[in-house]
Structure 1
Amino acid sequence: MNQKLKEKITESLSSVLPVSCIVLILGITIAPIPLDPLMLFLAGAAFLIIGMGFFTLGVDMAMMPIGEKVGAQLTKTKKLSIIILACFVIGSIITIAEPDLQVLAEQTPAVPNITLILTVAAGVGIFLALAFLRTLFGWSLSHILIVCYLVLFIMAFYIPQDFLAVAFDSGGVTTGPITVPFIMALGVGLSSIGQGKDSHGDSFGLVALCSIGPILSVMILGILFQSSSGSYEPMTIPSIANSQDLWFAFQHELPDYAKEVFWALLPIFSFYLFFQIFFLKMRKRQVIKILVGVLYSYIGLTLFLTGVNVGFMPAGNYLGKQLAGLSYNWVIIPISMLIGFYIVKAEPAVQVLNKQVADITGGTISEHTMMKGLSIGMAISLGMSLLRVMTGLHLLVLLLPGYALALLLSFVVPPVFTSIAFDSGGVASGPMTATFLLPFAMGACEALGGNILTDAFGIVAMVAMTPLIIIQLIGLSYEFKTRRANAKTDLLVLDMNEEFIELEKEESHD
């Protein structure tokens, strides 16, 4: 086996193993799980581990180089209108192909699927173009975010309540495992022509703005349609009598996800071929490496999505029901926090973000620091989400103060931390959130007799919010330590200068 692939699979094993152990321990203690969902979960974990290994290696070999080279090539074009149009087209086409967007469309039956998909895609395309303009002219990300979120929260009071959670969730859904690596790499390529003082900060922030576009566009759609997001249908768990039934459950879904991933990767691959033929003209060896990387990405994401959708979704839903049905059901809050702390490590795009942050900042912000911050953020968001499920708190009661704090912090921390923090919100709310944590909250809400559409939905929005605060607090701590270290250095230099002057005086007296 390829040594790098072996290393990636080992890394993914260490990421998925803690969550699997937590579910198994709960299954044999306070929340017994039938063999059907348990077998699906274990098999799904195996798909997940292998798929994540292939995908992360494919991203390193193909997705990141393609994004960086396309971004760098776009900057060589002197016509601003062409670059803006290219950003809009890239953002729109990649979003249309994002597999998780289909899930969102199915959850809003009051709006035709194609209408919702095109609306969301247009939102991402417009804001990707805006993100490029920010990079080009050095506009403050904090100022743009304040204006955008102010508009969002004003509009939130005018759309149907059960449409609100779906609108905020759409921001996390569209920044999935395909969109994020490409957009982040595109940002690195585009940042080379930016006029801002902070080149590190300018290379981030694209995902942050692309997460706002879908929320805004879906809100506008909700106002125009004046309709609800639809109705919730309880999840059915397939019956597993033997090992052959278990294989058939995955075999039945595998071709569908293989087709979805193919159409999702096709736009990126097409962009690369276009730029390779007319502009890049890379060497044969480099082209072969990228082709192999695209193949790895395809295999990995197909296995990953099959594993989480077929294996993790039923287990998450059933576990939520069991825990919420306990006489001491308050225990679901600390348990959800524990699951959240570890499950973020299994998000494929998180691995990509952490690595790029470490590379861009020269190790100043380590992968370990980023992962710890995201894990704490995920734990807090899951705790608050399950508290909301149990009490029926309105989503805006938590989102308004959370985003207000995040935006205030953006004015006191280094710009690079603000950009990374707002990117991390979209990255953390990936497929694992949609296919395990959301069904977990739905199962708990169903057992408690709550409103699924207003209480359970919104968990993606919560997951996307808390990292904004945690990562910026890390930045604040970093800034404080840096200033203190600089102050000590200045004092040391001052003391040395004073000693030198005194020594000179003594020598002159002699």
Structure 2
Amino acid sequence: MALPWKKKMIWRERLGRNRTILGEKIREALASVVPITAIVLVLSFTVAPLPTATLLAFLVGAALLIVGMGLFTLGADTAMTPIGERVGAHMTRSRKLWVVVLVGFLIGVIVTVSEPDLQVLATQVPGVPNALLVGAVALGVGVFLVIALLRILFRIPLSRILIVFYIAVFGLTLLVPEDFLAIAFDSGGVTTGPMTVPFIMALGLGVSSIRSDENASQDSFGLVALCSIGPILAVLILAMIYPAAGTYTPVALPDAADSRALWHLFEEGFPTYLEEVAVCLAPIAAFFALFQVFALKLKRKKVLKIAVGILYTDLGLVLFLTGVNVGFMPAGSYLGRQIAGLPYNWILVPIGMLMGWFIVQAEPAVHVLNKQVEEITSGAIPGKAMSTSLSVGVAVSIGLAMVRVMTGVSIYAFLVPGYLAAIVMSFFVPRIFTAIAFDSGGVASGPMTATFLLPFAMGACEALGGNVVTDAFGVVAMVAMTPLLTIQMLGLLYQSKLRRAEAQAQVQDEEIIDL
């Protein structure tokens, strides 16, 4: 039995480690938010001045986002990832298919409901109740997470599944109102955010760890890709059952006469989002508690650590949603309207590309994916090459999204050739690159895309007199699509270099034999 002073020392060490990790997470969040904040400040002091109250609310919102994302990602690492790995390994060890199906479906639904990016998108979709949209998306993720897990267990090639379901996706788009198309594809992008990605990838690693073949680790990729398809199909089906689209209502600007009134705006939001987040996270906590009692039976210390992680997640999500809804979205929408109203509104395109480049460079989930890819491929795909490829893809996608906002070109003109090219390329690149590419599409469309770039596009579209629902929505979908092409192009380049190196080695061997 440990002495009291030893227990105090242990708790102090743990507290110190948590503070250090939290500091790292806040620095990651800082790197994610600061570039957008700097761009907004430069624009607000030059070509697109913001009202003082709106600018101050944006800055307070940025601070809440930084702290909230830091706490949230710490909670995801402390609670969601360990739960995902242990649940994935345990349910596959049971060797019961019905367990994999049932647990996989429940996990997909439960985790998606608490996804912050989805909550942000749902509040911006006109004419559809938040709960209805979130519920449809959650069911879609649940079904496709089961499909993704079964793919790993039965060793089914990812490219075949992608072809079948994307044919189904584009077939359904011919039967639904145009208003829902961009929203459906955006739903697929926002679902794979900071809550679901760590959990789903950990679950994939847990399931693949049961297999002993050499392709097991590679097959752990692709879960994010398949879980991005489920929401698209779910929202398209919802559009056929619930064919209603409301009128877009511009985001209200913060109205505060002084600093106390400004803080009151945020203070009013805290109870609302505290209640919403508690409702979202309660199913995850209940699921873990039941799984712990009947299956996992972890030690008390590990259970306590996971419980603390869930609390971190709760607090971080409350701060995140409050900062987004009160500070970030109004500033993004107003800034888009201001720039679109300029005589030289073509600068929407380069500004959007600049934002896209910095957003993906600073996205924490992207860094996690880059590191995992570099480790699994033993350095064959360097993290720097991955990062640059993603940045180029996202910058181009935001530029094209701004072109859509200015011209009203249908999203079909970009998505159909883009996905067709990505699927064709999948037959010519190594399997690992295809899985990574489609996973990257979901990971690249992170928190900043839904919280700032989508309101920015909506504000610009409104000022230009376009249809916000058909022309502004689709930003997230464009961000999720272009990495499919750029990463697979990286795969073609890698394959070409590998073949040249093999040919050169063969020539050298022949020369040695001749000697």
TM-score by length of 1: 0.91
Specify the alignment match of 2:207 in structure 1: 190
**Where does residue 305 of structure 1 map in the other structure?**
321
2:488 counterpart of 1:472:
yes
Does 2:69 align with 1:52? yes
Give runs of aligned pairs for residues 47-126 of structure 1, distance below 5 A: 47-106=64-123, 110-111=127-128, 113-126=130-143
The answer for the alignment partner of 1:157 in structure 2 is: 174
Compared CA separation, residues 347 and 260, structure 1 to 2 (3 A): farther
Which piece of structure 1 moves more, 427-436 or 157-166?
A: 427-436
Amino acid corresponding to residue 173 of structure 1 in structure 2: V
Matched residue, 2:253: 237
CA distance in 2, matches of 1:454, 1:487: 51
1:212 equivalent among 224, 229, 241: 229
- Equivalent residue in structure 2 for 1:461, among 477, 487, 491: 477
Give the drift of 1:12: 2.6
List runs of 5+ in structure 1 lacking aligned partners. 500-510
Which residue number in structure 1 is paired with residue 264 of structure 2?
Answer: 248
| Distance change in 2, residues 1:301/1:111 (3 Å) | closer
1:262 to 266, 270, 278: 278
SS in 2 for 1:177: coil
Structure 2 residue 437 is matched with structure 1 residue 418: no
The reply to whether residue 330 of structure 1 matches residue 339 of structure 2 is no
Give how far 1:348 is off.
4.6
Please tell me the residue identity of whatever aligns with 1:120: V
Cα shift readout 1:142-186 (whole Å, capped 9, x = no counterpart): 111111111111221221111211111111232232222111111
Q: Give the C-alpha shift of residue 29 in structure 1.
A: 1.4
Secondary structure (helix, strand or coil) at the match of 1:450 reads coil
1:406 to 422, 445, 454: 422
Q: Do 1:100 and 1:431's aligned partners in 2 also have CA atoms closer than 8 Å?
A: yes
Q: Give the corresponding residue for 1:283.
A: 299
CA deviations on 1:94-147 (whole Å, 9 max, x unpaired) are 223434444555555655554444332222111111111111111111111111
Alpha-carbon separation, structure 1, partners of 2:26 and 2:130: 36
Q: How far, CA to CA, are the matches of 1:99 and 1:229 in structure 2?
A: 23
More divergent stretch after superposition (403-412 vs 54-63): 54-63
Residue 141 of structure 1 corresponds to: 158
Paired with 2:469 and 2:424, the residues of 1 have a C-alpha distance of: 30
Deviation sequence 1:7-52 (CA, Å, 0-9, x none): 3322332332222211111111122222122111212222222222
Question: Which 4+ runs in 1 deviate beyond 6 A?
Answer: none
What is the rounded CA distance, in whole Å, between the counterparts of 1:65 and 1:386 in structure 2? Answer: 40
CA shift in 2, pair 1:43/1:200, >3 Å: same
CA distance, structure 1, for counterparts of residue 45 and residue 281 of structure 2: 40
- Asked if the contact 2:415/2:481 (under 8 Å) is kept, the reply is yes
CA distance in 2, matches of 1:218, 1:170: 8
My pick for the range that moved more, 301-310 or 131-140, is 301-310
Alignment partner, residue 508 of structure 1: none
Match of 1:350 among 356, 359, 366: 366
Amino acid at match of 1:329: N
How far has the Cα of 1:210 moved from its partner? 1.1
| Alpha-carbon spacing, 1:212–1:334, altered in 2? closer, same or farther (3 Å) | same
1:382 aligns with 2:428: no
Matching residue of 2:443: 427
- 1:324 offset after TM fit, Å? 0.7
Q: Is 104-113 or 240-249 further displaced after alignment?
A: 104-113
> Comparing 40-49 with 298-307, which one deviates more in the overlay?
298-307
Residue identity matched to 2:420: A
Q: Give the aligned partner of residue 21 of structure 2.
A: 4
Q: Does 1:201 align with 2:221?
A: no
- Structure 1 residues 286 and 82 mapped into 2: Cα distance closer, same or farther (>3 Å)? closer
Q: 1:332 and 1:117, CA in 2 relative to 1: closer, same or farther beyond 3 A?
A: closer
Q: Distance in 2 between matches of 1:25 and 1:105?
A: 30
Question: What's 1:502 paired with?
Answer: none
1:209 CA displacement:
0.9
Any unmatched runs of 5+ in structure 2? 1-15
Deviation per residue, 1:320-376 (Å, 9 max, x gap): 111111111111101110011112345454344334334444444344333322222
1:265–1:478 CA distance, 2 compared to 1 (3 A): farther
Q: Cα distance 1:359–1:261, how it changes in 2: closer, same or farther (>3 A)?
A: farther
- Measured after TM superposition, the shift of residue 196 of structure 1 is 7.3
Q: Say how many residue pairs are matched.
A: 498
Contact 2:209 2:217 in 1 (8 A): no
**1:320 aligned partner:** 336
8 A contact 2:189–2:228 mirrored in 1: yes
**In structure 2, do the counterparts of structure 1 residues 309 and 357 end up closer, same or farther at CA, with 3 Å as the change threshold?**
farther
Answer yes or no: is the 8 Å Cα contact 1:99–1:264 preserved in 2: no
Please state whether the residue corresponding to 1:340 is helix, strand or coil: helix
Instruction: Give the secondary structure class of the aligned counterpart of 1:232.
Output: coil
Equivalent residue for 1:506?
A: none
Q: 1:58 is matched by which residue type in structure 2?
A: G
8 Å Cα contact 2:77/2:198 also seen in 1: no
Structure 2 CA distance for aligned equivalents of residues 495 and 56 of structure 1? 55
What TM-score does the superposition give when structure 2 sets the normalisation length?
0.90
Distance of 1:156 and 1:262 partners within structure 2: 35
Q: Distance in 1 between matches of 2:25 and 2:131?
A: 37
Secondary structure at the counterpart of residue 326 of structure 1? coil
Distance (Å, rounded) in 2 between the aligned partners of 1:5 and 1:55: 10
Q: Using the alignment, how far apart are the partners of 1:449 and 1:167 within structure 2?
A: 23
Instruction: Work out the percentage of aligned pairs sharing the same amino acid.
Output: 58
Give yes or no for contact 1:107–1:229 (8 Å, CA) kept in 2: no
Residue 70 of structure 1 and its aligned partner are, at CA, apart by 0.7
- Closer/same/farther in 2, CA of residues 461 and 365 from structure 1, 3 Å limit: same
Cα gap change, 1:411/1:480 in structure 2, threshold over 3 Å: closer, same or farther?
same
Task: Give, as a single letter, the amino acid of the residue that structure 1 aligns with 2:226.
Answer: L
